[in-house]
Each structure stands twice: as C-alpha cells, then as structure tokens.
Structure 1
Amino acid sequence: MSWAERIQDFVTLWVVIDPLGTLPVFLAVTAGLSARDRTKAAFISTLVSFGVLVFFAMAGHWLLRSMDVSIESFQIAGGIVLFLFALTMIHGRGHADPHAPAELNPVEIAIYPLAIPSIASPGAMLAAVVLTDSARHDFTERAVTIVTFSLVLLMTLAIMLAAGRLAHVIGRGGASIISRVMGMILAALAVDLILSATARWLHLPPI
C-alpha cells in the first residue's frame, strides 16, 4: 500500500468517524456529568469504539458472510439505528426523568450513544470492513488500517477531553441547541446511508 493510499484511508476514516462532529454530541449527552465523569465517559467511549472497529476490521467479512448478510443490508440497518438516535437528539430528553441514574451513568452514556452509534458509527463500521476487504489474507495491511483508525480515535479522545472548557462557556442551553442541530445533521447522514445502500442494491446511479 502506497503512502497516498494510506492518506486516503486516513481521510476516509476521519470523515466517517468525524471527531469534530462528535464534540457537540459529547457536550449534549454529558451535560449533566461532573468533570471527572465526563473524562471517564470520553476514555470508555474511545476504548469501546476501538474494540468495535477492530472487531469489524478483523472479523466483519466473516460475520456478514456467515450470517448471509450483505454490506447493503448492514448499511441500511445501521442507518435506521442512527436515524432513531438522531430523533432522540432532536426531540431532547423531556419525557425522561432528568435525574434518572441511567441518564447520569458515565459508563452507559459512553457505550450508548457516544461509542455506538456516534463514534463507531454505521459508516465507520462499514469503512472498517471495506478498507480491509482487499487485505483479508494480509495481516500487515489490516494492522496498518487498525493503526490508522487508532490515530483518528486518539484525536477524537483529545477533542472530547478538551470539551469541558467549552461546556462551561456554552452552558446547558447551548448544549441543547447544539444537540438538536447535530440531530438534524445525523438524521440527514442516516438517510444518506440508507439511500446509498438502496441505490447500490437496485443498481441505480450513486446518490
């Protein structure tokens, strides 16, 4: 693999993981946490995301083949999950008890929605499978891909760790606004994932 191809893979993973796009999601879902719990959620979400992406890079092909599931079906399913999560961001958490323990548990928040579906998004899982498609029998190339998305995840972690200062500036109201705007963007991304997969399935021109 040439350096140009590695840079292209890095850019692809940067786009699908979207470290900057994770920031408003992180601010929104950790608004009720202390600084210590916010840091804990950032580290746990990064580790969980790393584990998920490594799994799909190493065994994604085997898993989908063994279950006779196409890439398109996986992408559509992921798009639906992402869309449902986006709706919760748009409508907020007004129907839930804001002081419920589950809502303020940094571990649960780190796993959902931070790690899945925000950081290790359906697009990121799909990219992990696609980027290792031509290297299914070459461990070195897979390792290079894993190192590449590890760098992106480290950058994502750094951005989340720096979010605490920003949270003090924008406050709960700002986090609520960012959450709803980001929810609309995620909803659009989810629809794009579904439409793109459907177009490939029906052999239509790219969306």
Structure 2
Amino acid sequence: MDLTLFGEVFVTLLVITDPPGMMPIFLALTGPLPARERNRAAWQAVALALGVIVVFAVAGQTLLAYLHVTLPALQAAGGLLLILVALELLTGKADDPDQQATANIALVPLGTPLLAGPGAIVATMLFVQRAHTSGAYAQIAAAIVAVMIAVWIVLRFSGAIVRILRPGGIEVLTRIAGLLLAAIAVQLIADALAAFVNVYAHRA
C-alpha cells in the first residue's frame, strides 16, 4: 500500500500546527488553571481543530464561495483574533484564573485560529483537491487524525513543565508567548495583505 500521501499530509500539517511551538502559548493561557481544567482545554482545543479542518476539507470551497469570503480574508481575521489574545498575554490580563474560561480558551485561540488556522485549512483543502480515489481520501483523513493525536499528546503532558516552571516561570513564559503570538498575528495579516495586493494587481 502506498502511504506517500499519508506521509505528505502528516508532515505538512504537523509542521503547520507546530506542537512544540504551541506549548508555550498553551501553557501561558492555561498555566494558572488546575490540572484537570488544563487537560480538558487540551482535548477540547484538539477536538475543535479536528472538526474545523474536517469541515473545510469536505466543504471548504463551497462554504467560502457561498459566503463570498476569500482565503486571505480568513487569514486576516485569524491574525486580528490572535492580536487580541497577544495583547491580553502581554498586559497580564490573561494571568488571573478567575477571569479564565476554560471552554473559551480551548475554542479561541487554541482550537482556532492556532491549531485550525488558515495554513492548516488551506493545506487540507489543497490535498483534498488532489485526491481522486477513496484510498487517497482515507489517507488524508488518517493523517489529519494522527496529527491531532500528536498535538493532544504534547499539550496533555505539558503539565509537567508547569510544575517545573512554577508561577514565576509561567509569568515570564506568558510574556514571551504574547510576543511570539503577536508576531504570528502580524505575519498572518501581512501575508493576507500581500495576497490581496496580488489579486488586485492581476485584475488591473
């Protein structure tokens, strides 16, 4: 059985979701929470990301066309969402556990747009467009699930790092994660603007 497509999808999505890079952001957002809430946030984020990616894999082109939304617009929206979260991390507003809502953190920004962001969505849609047999679709589906399992494992066992870092270390990590998240957000918006300029330049 040729598993080339499986390997290609798995590696591509694993690089895009970047579980090691997600860990400091996940810890910054969930560090003050109890272990049970942090673990729940991990599986909720992964479950939502899986759902979003599957929906866009199956009906992404149709959905975006119906809403008259382009991929760069989706990318810019994701960037704006991340900027809001980054500002909370940088200003310390995300540090108070009383202000934290586990479900909200798991859904936004962890589930989307960090895990199921424009990069993962676009890559999945492109792979689906290339597939023409049931075996190819099965390989893509298996690769998506495998990536989500890998992400969940990394996030699930990040609690050990929380115990090592202690509150002071988590606070430093939060500020660093906020800066990284702001950079990711700016890059998303910049890429979206570049795509818009490209489109209008071709039209002209």
The answer to whether TM tops 0.5 is yes
Partners of 2:180 and 2:120 lie apart in 1 by: 16
- Report the secondary structure of 1:195's partner residue: helix
2:142 aligned to which of 144, 147, 156: 147
Which residue of structure 2 lines up, in the alignment, with residue 52 of structure 1? 52
Cα RMSD of the aligned pairs, angstroms, is 2.5
Q: Assess if the C-alpha contact under 8 Å between 2:82 and 2:109 holds in 1.
A: no
Partners of 1:36 and 1:99 lie apart in 2 by: 14
Q: Assess if the C-alpha contact under 8 Å between 1:57 and 1:142 holds in 2.
A: no
Partners of 2:141 and 2:17 lie apart in 1 by: 13
Partners of 1:201 and 1:125 lie apart in 2 by: 18
Which residue of structure 1 lines up, in the alignment, with residue 25 of structure 2? 25
- The answer to whether the aligner puts 1:132 opposite 2:128 as a matched pair is yes
Which residue of structure 2 lines up, in the alignment, with residue 13 of structure 1? 13
- The answer to whether the aligner puts 1:80 opposite 2:74 as a matched pair is no
1:116 aligned to which of 112, 118, 133: 112
Which residue of structure 1 lines up, in the alignment, with residue 202 of structure 2? none
Structure 1 position 64, deviation (Å) = 0.5
The C-alpha deviation readout for 1:116-136, integer Å capped at 9, x for no partner, is 23222232233333332334x
Structure 1 position 157, deviation (Å) = 0.8
Structure 2: 5+ residue stretches without partners:
200-204
1:88 maps to amino acid: E
Which residue of structure 1 lines up, in the alignment, with residue 195 of structure 2? 200
Q: Assess if the C-alpha contact under 8 Å between 2:5 and 2:139 holds in 1.
A: no
Going from structure 1 to structure 2, the CA distance change for 1:45 and 1:127 (only over 3 Å counts) comes to: same
- The answer to whether the aligner puts 1:182 opposite 2:177 as a matched pair is yes
Which residue of structure 2 lines up, in the alignment, with residue 70 of structure 1? 70
Q: Assess if the C-alpha contact under 8 Å between 1:61 and 1:133 holds in 2.
A: no
Partners of 1:203 and 1:70 lie apart in 2 by: 13
Q: Assess if the C-alpha contact under 8 Å between 1:79 and 1:122 holds in 2.
A: no
Partners of 1:139 and 1:202 lie apart in 2 by: 38
Partners of 1:87 and 1:133 lie apart in 2 by: 37
Q: Aligned residue pairs: how many?
A: 199
Q: Assess if the C-alpha contact under 8 Å between 1:42 and 1:161 holds in 2.
A: yes
Structure 1: 5+ residue stretches without partners:
none
